[in-house]
Structure 1
Amino acid sequence: MPDRRCVFVFADAPCSDIATQHPHLVPFFPPTFSSTPTLATPPMPILPSSTAPFGFLEPLHAYVLAHSEPLTWSNWWRLAVLPTIPLFLQAVLLRKEGTRKDRLALAVVGIALLWHACLRYRFEQPWFNALNNGISIGCMTLTVRYLEFALIKGRLIDQYWEDKGQHWLVSAFDVCTNARWIGLDPVEPRSNGIEKGGKRPKADKDVSVGTEVRPGHKAISPARNYPPWVVVPNSPLSRSHATIRHLTIAFRNYVISDILLSLLRSFGADSIGSSTPVPGALHRFSSDNTFVLFPKLGNGLESPWWLTEMAAVIAVALCVWLGLSMGYHAIAGVMVGTGLHEVEAWEIDLFDHPLKADSLLDFWGHRWHQFFRHSFTLVATQTLRFLHLPVTSTYVLGLSFFFSGAMHALGQFTMDPVPALFPIFVLFPISGLGCALEVQFKRWTGKKVGGFWGRLWTWSVMLITGRWAAIAWFESGVGGSYLCPAWAGDLLKPFILEWILNRK
């Protein structure tokens, strides 16, 4: 091996001569400068673009994709279980006064564990890419919950169900998962949980569970006055009946959503049902295919191209609706069936008949799921206070829709390929603007938006903005995703193709 100390002998010689005569010394000398101009490094993008969908965050996005690990059965607990343990400990500490510093420390640990796992583990299969979106949105939601639990002053207890005999550990778990804040201290613009802490709802004072005995009569069934947030079935349900009901709804929603996904993958294998990016997927799908409804009835009914595109867009919304509802009722069936929760605890449905909405305010404020409403209201309120802006319903509403759009867009951070962010983001601010117009309409006319014209207005806005989001998903390969076990759709597809819908 040559003696590297000889480098000092040639200290006064030109580097090029040394490199030629002694090639083993080349690594010790810097490259010679050339007069040939080099290409300038493009500046880091600030705003999102087709090549940098996350703008100035694109280097981090590229780093995450390059260093992530596939999510498997052997490491799922690192993402789904480990980062939530500090949150449960926060809920336990919220049962006592003077634990704010400890809860703040747990928040730091929990958020660090959460985002370390979220940015490290992801589904790398193209047909599971859409699930990465749900994981990122869940991590953002848990981050807000960590911060909220850290900053709450006082105690926070799910008192109503504890008074009915619920174990305190189950109650602490309920506080963690009660995203809609049902039965807990409500967060309002001028009085929120961070400032005042959790308090027993006033409605709980009206709860009385006991046995009413009239003079000369036998004891009758207990008389119960439920707080307004407890939905009591029209006819009393036993635990077994309630469990079967929840599981039946979950199975029904699974069958319908899996049929829709199966048809998307079958009919649009080279367009909207592909698991890889397809530019102009929706237009290609409608122009290359002609569909016939009820093919066994004579010649059937031929679907025009615009109806085909509308059906594809609606199918996306239905899959989101039915998929979330399926998960909700499946969990309800387990919780009620195992006896961890009372039957009434899960009678508040996640959705309230979205198709009945006759205004945007009705749709977003009542009919659609309210899973994120508490978090958006909280973040919007604290943002306004930080900026020293008036905390009014108008500002809170506008910021809530802005944060909703940002969450759904940034939720695609671990996806690859990434759908176009702007169409997904803008859906929510436009809905917020529509809600503001409805409020202004009531001020001008004294009437609420509703009825036939309200439905026409609502669904026109939702179909137009929903189409933009659907196109972004279709063109990135989300339409070919497997969001649930592929069984019912493949089983029933031959019958559907023969009797209900087929290609010409």
Structure 2
Amino acid sequence: MLSFPDGLRLPTARVPLTTATFVSGVLPPVVCGFATAFLVLLSRTQPVRIVLWPITAILAFRAATSLDVSMGQPKYNFLNTQLQVSSRRTRINCYSVELILQQTMFFIAARTLEWTLQTKPFIRMARRSSKQNSVLDMFDLIFSVRGCGWDWSQGLYIPPETHPTSSRLAFAASTLVSGLKHLFLCGAIHSAVQSFSPETFGSVDGGTIFDQSLPPHLRYLRSSIIATLCAFCIYSGLQTCYELTVIPCVLLLRQHPDQWPPSFDSPWRSTSLRDFWSRRWHQWLRRLFIFFGGRPLSLLFGRVGGVIGAFLVSGFFHHLALSAIAPSSEMWRMVLPFGMMGVGMIIERAVAGNQTGGWMGWIWTMCWMVLWGNVMVDGWARAGMFGGSTILDSTMPLRQPIERLVRTFDEYLHA
């Protein structure tokens, strides 16, 4: 009777992350990912990639389900999300020691599947040197999740640069200031969200953002404020991760500033859903969603299927993130609101074509985002996502004034 080698056996329980489990659990799928990235740059390697992918997928699933990154502390359960699935994929340098912590197992399995099905080699079109180097191209392919400078990133929008590029030092200094600003904002907003209900969704136990003791209009006003704060908290957190990663890569690894274009373009200024999702919000996972959802459903249902498919995959991806924290979380709480983003884009195109804009377009966009954002954020809140700690939880000087302000406002709503 055939049996899996020990290294491919699926785990029955999580084990703590140690040096030994890192080497035996995390490193093998990462090595397979590197190998696949190198092979997809070469001609006539698809048969080898086809053989390699099932091994990569099993090893990635094994690592994602066997390691406990929380180290036995429930308050840090949210760290498991970084190993299993993470929407904080940034373009990091090949020499960064943070690679394995940031590279998710799901992302490895998903990207290597795309590389396995690729029939022609990928081509790096933009490079700092005219000399081709397959090893450097392999690293750039792995860490450039947006695909800047690659032939497979057709249609990618790159936001205009907001930092000075006259020198690496000026660019890094400006980026550092921005990163610290967003770090502070993330901590402040996170404290505000927790202060609305520290015993329920502000704790690791989780709870709904909809307060049934309030009348409907005040209930949804309160939940909409919480959802909006969460959106800015996520934005600030992603900006912090990206910008603080830029600094050592530009100063120590001598990368050029144009290798680190901005990820966001003032999403609060969006005047259409299409503007928000295809231009102003980050595009780190754009390729993943198009490959797994947009492209297959577009073959069946045309453009409408492509739009809906991409958002459905996005919802499933975010559900996986929640399941790392709360395995009993319901999939529809992520799939429905993300799917409705696709429906909103279809309605938008049917009613206004490509002419959506101005203040009416802004109102439409924000109302639709807040409406379904309530459902999305409620799913996160029920999973206890907002109960996790941040770097600034105990050190931020404004924490207590923020808590008092939020409590005063909440008491006013309940008066």
| Category of TM-score, reference length = shorter chain | 0.7 to 0.9
The residue number in structure 1 matching 2:399 is: 493
Aligned residues: 377
The residue number in structure 2 matching 1:135 is: 83
* 1:118 alignment partner, one of 53, 57, 64: 64
* 1:310 alignment partner, one of 219, 224, 230: 224
Tell me the distance in 1 between the aligned counterparts of 2:194 and 2:160.
Answer: 39
Question: Is 1:441 aligned to residue 347 of structure 2?
Answer: no
Residues 260 and 188 of structure 1: is their aligned pair in 2 closer, same or farther, counting only changes over 3 Å? closer
Secondary structure of the residue aligned to 1:181 is coil
| Cα displacement (A) at 1:261 | 2.0
* 1:356 alignment partner, one of 269, 281, 285: 269
* 2:15 alignment partner, one of 52, 69, 87: 69
* 1:240 alignment partner, one of 146, 169, 183: 169
Structure 2 gap segments, 5+ residues each = 1-9, 86-103
Question: Is 1:334 aligned to residue 334 of structure 2?
Answer: no
| Cα displacement (A) at 1:168 | 4.7
| Cα displacement (A) at 1:83 | 2.1
Deviations 1:273-320 (A, max 9, x none): 111134x45417x86xxxxxxxxxxxxxxxx76554333222221221
Secondary structure of the residue aligned to 1:274 is coil
Moved more, 315-324 or 242-251: 242-251
| Cα displacement (A) at 1:335 | 1.4
Residues 273 and 489 of structure 1: is their aligned pair in 2 closer, same or farther, counting only changes over 3 Å? farther
Residues 132 and 244 of structure 1: is their aligned pair in 2 closer, same or farther, counting only changes over 3 Å? same
Tell me the distance in 2 between the aligned counterparts of 1:159 and 1:308.
Answer: 49
Residues 106 and 335 of structure 1: is their aligned pair in 2 closer, same or farther, counting only changes over 3 Å? farther
Higher helix proportion (structure 1 or 2): 2
Structure 1 gap segments, 5+ residues each = 1-63, 190-200, 202-227, 288-303
| Cα displacement (A) at 1:231 | 5.8
Tell me the distance in 2 between the aligned counterparts of 1:321 and 1:230.
Answer: 15
CA RMSD of aligned residues (A): 3.2
Tell me the distance in 1 between the aligned counterparts of 2:361 and 2:329.
Answer: 31
Deviations 1:395-439 (A, max 9, x none): 211211121112222333332364343222111111100100111
The residue number in structure 2 matching 1:372 is: 285
Residues 237 and 164 of structure 1: is their aligned pair in 2 closer, same or farther, counting only changes over 3 Å? farther
The residue number in structure 2 matching 1:88 is: 34
* 1:458 alignment partner, one of 365, 386, 395: 365
- Residues 46-445 of structure 1: matches in 2 within 5 Å? 67-71=13-17, 75-76=21-22, 81-122=27-68, 123=70, 125-137=73-85, 138-163=104-129, 168-186=134-152, 236-278=165-207, 280=208, 282-283=210-211, 307-346=221-260, 348-380=261-293, 383-384=296-297, 389=300, 392-416=302-326, 418-443=328-353
Task: Indicate if the aligned counterparts of 1:359 and 1:457 stay in contact, CA closer than 8 A.
Answer: yes
Question: Structure 2 counterpart of 1:153, which letter?
Answer: T
Task: Indicate if the aligned counterparts of 2:15 and 2:66 stay in contact, CA closer than 8 A.
Answer: yes
| Cα displacement (A) at 1:104 | 2.8
Tell me the distance in 2 between the aligned counterparts of 1:65 and 1:126.
Answer: 21
- Percent identity at matched positions? 22
Secondary structure of the residue aligned to 2:323 is coil
Question: Structure 2 counterpart of 1:258, which letter?
Answer: G
Tell me the distance in 2 between the aligned counterparts of 1:187 and 1:248.
Answer: 30
Task: Indicate if the aligned counterparts of 1:129 and 1:416 stay in contact, CA closer than 8 A.
Answer: no
| Cα displacement (A) at 1:381 | 5.4
Task: Indicate if the aligned counterparts of 1:127 and 1:478 stay in contact, CA closer than 8 A.
Answer: no
Task: Indicate if the aligned counterparts of 2:29 and 2:108 stay in contact, CA closer than 8 A.
Answer: no
Residues 395 and 270 of structure 1: is their aligned pair in 2 closer, same or farther, counting only changes over 3 Å? same
Residues 229 and 321 of structure 1: is their aligned pair in 2 closer, same or farther, counting only changes over 3 Å? closer
TM-score w.r.t. structure 1 length?
0.66
| Cα displacement (A) at 1:70 | 3.7
Residues 410 and 95 of structure 1: is their aligned pair in 2 closer, same or farther, counting only changes over 3 Å? closer
Task: Indicate if the aligned counterparts of 1:405 and 1:424 stay in contact, CA closer than 8 A.
Answer: yes
Task: Indicate if the aligned counterparts of 1:95 and 1:156 stay in contact, CA closer than 8 A.
Answer: yes
Question: Structure 2 counterpart of 1:486, which letter?
Answer: L
| Cα displacement (A) at 1:182 | 1.8
Tell me the distance in 2 between the aligned counterparts of 1:76 and 1:258.
Answer: 30
- Residues 19-58 of structure 1: matches in 2 within 5 Å? none
| Cα displacement (A) at 1:251 | 1.7
The residue number in structure 1 matching 2:88 is: none
Task: Indicate if the aligned counterparts of 1:260 and 1:489 stay in contact, CA closer than 8 A.
Answer: no
Task: Indicate if the aligned counterparts of 1:273 and 1:480 stay in contact, CA closer than 8 A.
Answer: yes
| Cα displacement (A) at 1:479 | 1.8
Task: Indicate if the aligned counterparts of 1:132 and 1:412 stay in contact, CA closer than 8 A.
Answer: no
Tell me the distance in 1 between the aligned counterparts of 2:383 and 2:314.
Answer: 21
Question: Structure 1 counterpart of 2:256, which letter?
Answer: E
TM-score w.r.t. structure 2 length?
0.79
* 2:376 alignment partner, one of 465, 469, 472: 469
Residues 183 and 165 of structure 1: is their aligned pair in 2 closer, same or farther, counting only changes over 3 Å? same
Tell me the distance in 1 between the aligned counterparts of 2:243 and 2:133.
Answer: 22
Task: Indicate if the aligned counterparts of 1:354 and 1:367 stay in contact, CA closer than 8 A.
Answer: yes
Tell me the distance in 1 between the aligned counterparts of 2:46 and 2:136.
Answer: 21
Task: Indicate if the aligned counterparts of 1:350 and 1:370 stay in contact, CA closer than 8 A.
Answer: yes
| Cα displacement (A) at 1:266 | 4.5
Residues 378 and 96 of structure 1: is their aligned pair in 2 closer, same or farther, counting only changes over 3 Å? same
| Cα displacement (A) at 1:358 | 1.0
